[in-house]
Every structure is written in structure tokens, then in C-alpha cells.
């Protein structure tokens, strides 16, 4: 279960209004919730409906059973939204992974490709080729390389490939139809950066034994709570970003205090970047708007980026992501548990630097570091809020995904931009293709 705490924004506002938000500023936007909600619905974006997929759940689970035990390795071929979602799910939920071992080929670096090709046994490897358009150059190049390896090894490609792509069009769809390659659909009205809860993320989750029905139940409940039933938390995050952007805080830091959720901040980086970074608004006026995401990890980045957050330009909004209960509790040994320090280092060795650990766990240390960071940033008038889940599991991960997607959808409407296009990305693809064709001449 996810909860949000905006109190520090109010406290900062009391001390210096230009760096925080007042409760009145929030309230003034509440009456516009329904208006922005209807605008989102008018965009006909399918991500809101992904919590309800009984047919996909059945198809994915059935396929997973047919290949269970057949493969020692799974290689995901993809980039951007077709890869960041799966990696986030795997990093968050797969611990001490047994077979099959998953390799995420998220780049076209030839050294990385060669390393993965060297690690796997082609006879025992399944390749998931993931691209919404079915035309992504990087992913098609990866596919052609491994297809060639399979054919040279005299292996039937349809037994080693699965395509996750558009239901009707694109190169991969044509190949799948012609060669009877298993295929799962990405809905036409779900963009790549919103696709984590389609087969893009669900198939690999099922193949490694995760409960995809719980992922979707968390997303479904989040949609009901934060969109249908007018719980304003996701909307308030968008309002916070919108107002703080007007106050010069155009950088959003997502800082999970869990190594398992580190990639969540990277996934959110794409979601926020591609959704808000736009040259034109909906009236075709040049606005060059957008919020810059900055991923961070607690407590690691307390010893790198925090100095900048604390004393650098006051242009950042820090969103902490907390985990209340970890699956493991580890006690920090006391001085006498680890060695007889009083004998080896003298009687004064029990200094404050070690006394703080008495009867404490790493869990308590992590919590103390988090609370200290929040307090220090608030003292320095650096706007921050906290999102909290009780534990990391499939249900809560699905809820976080949907919560953040809904908040970005609201933010796009507040900014009056097309949240779902990405002309800047498409332009670079066009020029890359032109460069390749020119090289042939």
C-alpha cells in the first residue's frame, strides 16, 4: 500500500514561500481535478486500463508453463521503454535468481553483445524481442544478429524467439505471421514508456516465477484510488511539480531508499523526460518546456549528490521513496561482539562513533539516515515529499507504476502539452537511418 506525505512542503512554505507550497495552493487546484481527469480520458491512452487483463494473464501463464524448464537463459532484446520496465521489475522482485538466468541487452554496444553471446548456450536460450513499433532499429539489429547465430547452429528460430510488439503492424509482426513465431501484443494505444504493465514487463515476470496477477491488481487498485475515486495524491504530486517549476525548481529527484528500487528511478527518468520535454504546447506555440529528472539512491547518494541538493542551486524537488519493512533484518554487531577492542585499542575505544550502533540494525540505520536527510533538506528550504510502501512485492510495485504514470498524465495536462508523443526521439531515429544509408553509397 502506497502513501504520500507532503508536510515538508508546507513547513518550507511557512519559512519561505518561494521554496515550498501552501495547503491553500493545493486546495486551489482540487476543484480542477475533474477537468484534468476528463482531458486525460479524451487522449484515449490505454495504460489506465492495464490493471484488467484476464486474457493476457491466462495467455502469458499458459505460455510460461509450456517452456518451463526448457531454457537456462533468457535474453531480452530491447531499448527504452521496452527494457527499463522489465529491468525495474527484475531488480525489485527477483532475489537470489535461479535458472533461467536473464540477460537484458539494453544497448547496441558491440562489446556487450559479444559478452552475452559468449555466456549463453543457444540451444537452451529464449530470446524476447520487445519493440512497440516492430521497427526499432537497435532492437531489429540485435534480433538479426542472434537469429543469424541460431540459423548457423541449425536451430529452429520459432522455438527460440518470442516477439512482443504491435498487434497489427511492423516488421516483427510480418515475420511472426510468416514463420509462426509466438507473439504477445502491446496495445496500440499504450506508448513504450507506459508499457511496463503490458507483456513487455509481464512476460518476463511470469517466466521467472513472479505473480503477474498481483502486479496488475496493484495497478488496478491504484487507478481506482488515484484516478476514479478522486484521491488527490498522484494529482498532488503533479501539482507540486507544476507549481515548483514556476518557482524555478525544474529538476525532480526520485530517491528510493532501497537498492531493489534503484532502477525505478531510471524508469521514471524516461517517463518524465519523454512525457514533459516538448518544444510545442497543444496550441502549437513554442514553449520548450519540461522537467528534468535526476535519479538518486539512498543512502549511496548522500555521499555524492546530497552536497549539491543541500547547498547548490535551489532548483530541485526531491521525492523520497521509502520502504517501511524489508524482507531481511540484520543486526549491527556491537564492539564486544566483533573483537575485544578494549584490550587491543585501550579503554577509551567505545567512542560515540561506535556507541550509536548499540542494539541497532542496518534497517534502523537506513531509516535514521533517511529521516536525517529529509530534516536537513527541509531546514535548508529544499522542497521534498515522501512516498512510502509497506514492503516490496508485486502488488506494491504495480501500484507505484500506475501512481507515477497517473501523476505524469496529470502533469502533462497542467503543462498543456502532448504527454504521449516524442518527436525529438523520432527525429534522431530518422537521421540515424539516413546516416546508415549514406554509408552504403
H helix runs in 356-419, sequence order: 362-379, 394-415
Largest CA distance in the chain: 80
Dihedral angle sign, alpha carbons of residues 205, 211, 214, 220: positive
Q: What share of the chain is helix, strand, coil (3-state, %, to 5)?
A: 55, 15, 30
Residues annotated as catalytic are 274, 303, 429
Measuring CA to CA, how many Å separate 285 from each of 246, 295, 337, 417? 18, 30, 67, 10
Q: How many CB atoms lie within 10 A of CB 246?
A: 9
CA–CA distance from 352 to each of 8, 127, 335, 355 (Å)?
A: 30, 54, 12, 5
Cβ-count burial 44-58 (b if 16+ within 10 Å, e if not): ebebbebbebeebbe
Number of Cα atoms under 13 Å in the Cβ half of residue 385: 23
Tell the residue number behind the cell numbers 537452451, with chain if given.
124
Question: Which residues pair with residue 102 across a beta bridge?
Answer: 74
Q: Phi, psi at residue 348, to the nearest 5°?
A: -95, 15
Amino acid at each position: 500500500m502506497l502513501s504520500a506525505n507532503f508536510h515538508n512542503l508546507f513547513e518550507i512554505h511557512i519559512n519561505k514561500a518561494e521554496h515550498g507550497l501552501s495547503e491553500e495552493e493545493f486546495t486551489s487546484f482540487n476543484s480542477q481535478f475533474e477537468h484534468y481527469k476528463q482531458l486525460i480520458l479524451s487522449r484515449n491512452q490505454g495504460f489506465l486500463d492495464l490493471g484488467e487483463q484476464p486474457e493476457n494473464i491466462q495467455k502469458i501463464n499458459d505460455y510460461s508453463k509450456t517452456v518451463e524448464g526448457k531454457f537456462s537463459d533468457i535474453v531480452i532484446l530491447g531499448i527504452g521503454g521496452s527494457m527499463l520496465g522489465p529491468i525495474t521489475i527484475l531488480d525489485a522482485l527477483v532475489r537470489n535468481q535461479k535458472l533461467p538466468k536473464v540477460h537484458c541487452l539494453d544497448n547496441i554496444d558491440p562489446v556487450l553483445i559479444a559478452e552475452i553471446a559468449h555466456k549463453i548456450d543457444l540451444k537452451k536460450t529464449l530470446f524476447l524481442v520487445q519493440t512497440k513499433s516492430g521497427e526499432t532499429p537497435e532492437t531489429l539489429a540485435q534480433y538479426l544478429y542472434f537469429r543469424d547465430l541460431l540459423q548457423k547452429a541449425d536451430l529452429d528460430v520459432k522455438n527460440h524467439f518470442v516477439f512482443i510488439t504491435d498487434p497489427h503492424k511492423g516488421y516483427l509482426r510480418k515475420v511472426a505471421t510468416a514463420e509462426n513465431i509466438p507473439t504477445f501484443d502491446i496495445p496500440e494505444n499504450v506508448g513504450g514508456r507506459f508499457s511496463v504493465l503490458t507483456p513487455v514487463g509481464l512476460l518476463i515476470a511470469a517466466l521467472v516465477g513472479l505473480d503477474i496477477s498481483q502486479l496488475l491488481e496493484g495497478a488496478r487498485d491504484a487507478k481506482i484510488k488515484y484516478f476514479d475515486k478522486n484521491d488527490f495524491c498522484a494529482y498532488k504530486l503533479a501539482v507540486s511539480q507544476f507549481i515548483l517549476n514556476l518557482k524555478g525548481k525544474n529538476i525532480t529527484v526520485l530517491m528510493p531508499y532501497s537498492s531493489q528500487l534503484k532502477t525505478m528511478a531510471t524508469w521514471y527518468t524516461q517517463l518524465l523526460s519523454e512525457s514533459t520535454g516538448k518544444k510545442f504546447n497543444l496550441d502549437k506555440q513554442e514553449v520548450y518546456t519540461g522537467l528534468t529528472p535526476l535519479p538518486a539512491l539512498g543512502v549511496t547518494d548522500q555521499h555524492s549528490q546530497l552536497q549539491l541538493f543541500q547547498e547548490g542551486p535551489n532548483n530541485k524537488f526531491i521525492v523520497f521513496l521509502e520502504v517501511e519493512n524489508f524482507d531481511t533484518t540484520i543486526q549491527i554487531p556491537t564492539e564486544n561482539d566483533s573483537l575485544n577492542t578494549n584490550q587491543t585499542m585501550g579503554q577509551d575505544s567505545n567512542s560515540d562513533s561506535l556507541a550509536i550502533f548499540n542494539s541497532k540494525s542496518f534497517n534502523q540505520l537506513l531509516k535514521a539516515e533517511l529521516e536525517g536527510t529529509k530534516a536537513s533538506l527541509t531546514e535548508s528550504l529544499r522542497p521534498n515529499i515522501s512516498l512510502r510502501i509497506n514492503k516490496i512485492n508485486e502488488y506494491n510495485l504495480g501500484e507505484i507504476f500506475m501512481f507515477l504514470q497517473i501523476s505524469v498524465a496529470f502533469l502533462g495536462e497542467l503543462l498543456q502539452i502532448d504527454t504521449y508523443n516524442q518527436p525529438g526521439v523520432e527525429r534522431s531515429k530518422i537521421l540515424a537511418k539516413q546516416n546508415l544509408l549514406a554509408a552504403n553509397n
